[in-house]
């Protein structure tokens, strides 16, 4: 058993492994994704969140095409690969990126166990490292990562440029569903408008949330939609709480797109590249 990695409150460790498969799972633990393998064996049957992330997929699955043959997909922060495998089963060619070598080892191992190596490839990379990647993916999954980033809007801009058809954007949010129609422009003396309940905003988490020091941000609902718009995306539907299905905006004003892309390239060191 791997005894070098502490058990996080939202991870699960295989208890009392009895079979060779269970012993492999225990050695690769702890697990954040509960994967179902042959014989009904699960990687995280005692997950503190329940059957995670299957219950999130149950809400998302109906709004994605059943047949993704010919599609390319990017799974950002893929962890042990649950969503990557589900997309691959629908026919997509999936690239999963994950900065944590521990989870990446789980994903690669699971791909072999599930016979999906030909459909899925995993890379050790961060979302910021995608800034220089050329081309687009038909589908981008950006789930459970945004609020862990110190530079969240930069990451959203990077991924917007890589989104060809659809993006699934999921983030922890502040309580409340209010949306206030923010003005296109307003004066310094009108700053009190930003105190409206439905004004787009994000709460900054200085220390820890749920025992995790990498939780930095929690936007409100209005903030998520506004952030998406500012990145050149349009929210088309909300299949579940905190999950947003987005598509690239086709009629974004040229001056807005130009300013966004210019700043993105400067922030990622590409301002002098052709």
pLDDT at 101 over 70: yes
pLDDT tens-digit readout, 190-235: 999 999 999 999 999 999 998 899 999 999 999 999 999 999 999 9
> How confident is the model over 238-251, as a mean pLDDT?
94
Q: Are 124 and 104 in contact (CB under 8 A)?
A: yes
Q: Are 229 and 249 in contact (CB under 8 A)?
A: yes
Q: What is the pLDDT of residue 263?
A: 86
Q: What is the pLDDT of residue 16?
A: 87
Percent of the chain with pLDDT over 70: 96
Q: What is the pLDDT of residue 63?
A: 97
- Which of 5, 10, 3, 62 lies closest to 33 in space, CA to CA? 10
pLDDT class of 7 with cuts at 50, 70, 90: low
Give the span between the Cα atoms of 213 and 80, in whole angstroms: 21
pLDDT at 251 over 60: yes
Give the span between the Cα atoms of 95 and 137, in whole angstroms: 9
DSSP state of 208: -
Average pLDDT of the chain? 93
Q: What is the pLDDT of residue 256?
A: 76
> How confident is the model over 231-241, as a mean pLDDT?
96
Helix (H) or strand (E) holding 204: strand 202-204
Percent of the chain with pLDDT over 90: 80
Q: How far apart are the first and last CA of the chain?
A: 50
> How confident is the model over 156-177, as a mean pLDDT?
97
> How confident is the model over 229-244, as a mean pLDDT?
96
pLDDT class of 264 with cuts at 50, 70, 90: confident
* Beta-bridge partner residues of 9: none
pLDDT at 168 over 80: yes
**φ, ψ at 209 (rounded to 5°):** -135, 130
In this predicted model, which residue has the larger pLDDT, 35 or 211? 35
Six-digit token pair at 212?
């995790």
pLDDT at 107 over 70: yes
What are the CA-CA distances from residue 183 to residues 113, 196, 256 (Å)? 53, 12, 16
pLDDT at 1 over 50: no
In this predicted model, which residue has the larger pLDDT, 210 or 158? 158
pLDDT tens-digit readout, 111-125: 999 999 999 999 999
DSSP state of 151: S
Give the span between the Cα atoms of 222 and 188, in whole angstroms: 22
Strands 163-170, 120-123: pairing kind: unpaired
Query: Where is average pLDDT lowest: 11-25, 75-89, 212-226, 230-244?
Result: 11-25
Residue corresponding to tokens 């629908």: 90
What pTM does this model have?
A: 0.92
Q: What is the pLDDT of residue 86?
A: 98
pLDDT at 2 over 50: no
**φ, ψ at 61 (rounded to 5°):** -50, -40
């Amino acid at each position: 058993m791997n005894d070098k990695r502490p058990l996080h409150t939202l991870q699960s460790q295989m208890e009392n492994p009895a079979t060779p498969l269970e012993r492999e799972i225990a050695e690769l633990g702890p697990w954040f994704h509960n994967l179902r393998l042959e014989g009904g064996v699960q990687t995280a049957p005692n997950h503190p969140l329940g059957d995670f992330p299957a219950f999130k997929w149950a809400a998302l699955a109906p709004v994605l095409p059943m047949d993704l043959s010919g599609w390319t997909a990017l799974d950002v922060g893929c962890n042990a690969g649950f969503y990557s495998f589900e997309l691959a089963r629908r026919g997509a060619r999936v690239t999963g990126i994950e900065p944590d070598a521990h989870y990446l080892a789980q994903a690669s191992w699971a791909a072999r166990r599930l016979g999906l190596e030909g459909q899925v490839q995993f890379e050790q990379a961060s979302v910021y490292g995608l800034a220089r990647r050329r081309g687009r993916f038909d589908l981008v999954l950006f789930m459970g990562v945004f609020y862990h980033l110190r530079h969240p809007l930069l990451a959203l801009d990077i991924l917007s440029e890589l989104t060809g058809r659809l993006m699934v954007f999921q983030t922890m949010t502040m309580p409340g569903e209010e949306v206030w129609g923010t003005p296109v422009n307003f004066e310094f003396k009108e700053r009190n408008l930003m105190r409206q309940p439905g004004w787009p905003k994000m709460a900054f988490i200085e220390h820890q949330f749920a025992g995790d020091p990498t939780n930095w941000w929690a936007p409100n609902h209005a903030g998520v939609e506004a952030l998406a718009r500012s990145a050149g995306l349009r929210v088309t539907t909300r299949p579940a709480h905190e999950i947003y299905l987005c598509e690239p905006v086709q009629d974004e004003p040229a001056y807005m797109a130009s300013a966004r892309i210019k700043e993105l390239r400067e922030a990622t060191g590409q301002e002098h590249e052709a």
